[in-house]
Amino acid sequence: MTTTLSINGQQRSIEAPPDTPLLWVLRDELGMTGTKFGCGMALCGACTVHMNGSPIRSCVTPISVVGNQPIATIENMENDEVGRAVQRAWVDLSVPQCGYCQAGQIMSAVGLLRTNRTPSDDDISGAMGGNICRCGTYHRIHAAVKQAAAQLSGGKTS
């Protein structure tokens, strides 16, 4: 069955059963491998993308649910003001170790900062709590979200 998805501003037609999770369409059908597989059960956040600008776990989101709602992935974050600020903070603080989970981490952070430019420590922990990093970069992730927030809010912090 043919489904047309809106991904990073482009219409993409794919042949797949409607219950296919968006993750596998991105990775295996479209070759967009920036979005990672981690658990398949919305437990780790590695597969986080945005639907209508909000973070979702693509590993449990069937394409039938996505429909024509706009999807944004890590590959599009350079075209996003918040995305750029977060990516820059990630680089500035050398956040990644192995780096595998970081696309999902960045997508969650962008989702937070899009709605809250002055997040508290608890806001950050709450928004990032669903993203596992086995290398243990949480300390730097936390600092990087704060740095990006400060940049986006013109230096204001909570």
Beta-ladder partners of 50: 55, 72
Number of residues counted as binding other proteins (CB under 8 A):
60
Among 131, 123, 118, residue whose Cα is nearest residue 55: 131
Question: 3-state DSSP call for residue 3?
Answer: strand
According to CB under 8 A, which one of 65, 100, 116, 118 is a site residue for other proteins?
Answer: 100
Q: Which stretch binds other proteins (CB under 8 A): 64-72, 96-104, 112-120, 149-157?
A: 96-104
| DSSP state letter for 114 | H
Q: How far is the CB of 102 from other proteins (least distance, A)?
A: 5
- Nearest Cα to Cα of residue 70 among 125, 24, 8, 124: 8
Place of tokens 């809106």: 6
Residue selected from 6, 8, 12, 39 as contacting other proteins according to rule CB under 8 A: 39
Minimum CB distance to other proteins smaller for 73 or for 114: 73
Which of residues 5, 7, 38, 71 is near other proteins by CB under 8 A? 38
Nearest approach in angstroms of CB 142 to other proteins is 7
Q: Which two tokens stand for residue 39?
A: 């658990």
Per-position DSSP letters for 12-33, written without gaps between them: EEEE--TTSBHHHIIIIIS--T
| The binder of other proteins chosen from 53, 80, 138, 158 (CB under 8 A) | 138
Query: Which amino acid makes up residue 134?
Result: R
* Residue 58 touches other proteins, criterion: CB under 8 A: no
The answer to whether residue 29 forms part of the interface with other proteins (CB under 8 A) is yes
Beta-bridge mates of residue 10: 7
Catalog residues that contact other proteins under the rule CB under 8 A: 16-17, 20-21, 24-25, 27-29, 31, 33-41, 43-44, 46, 73-75, 77-78, 87, 90-91, 94-103, 106, 121, 124-126, 128-142
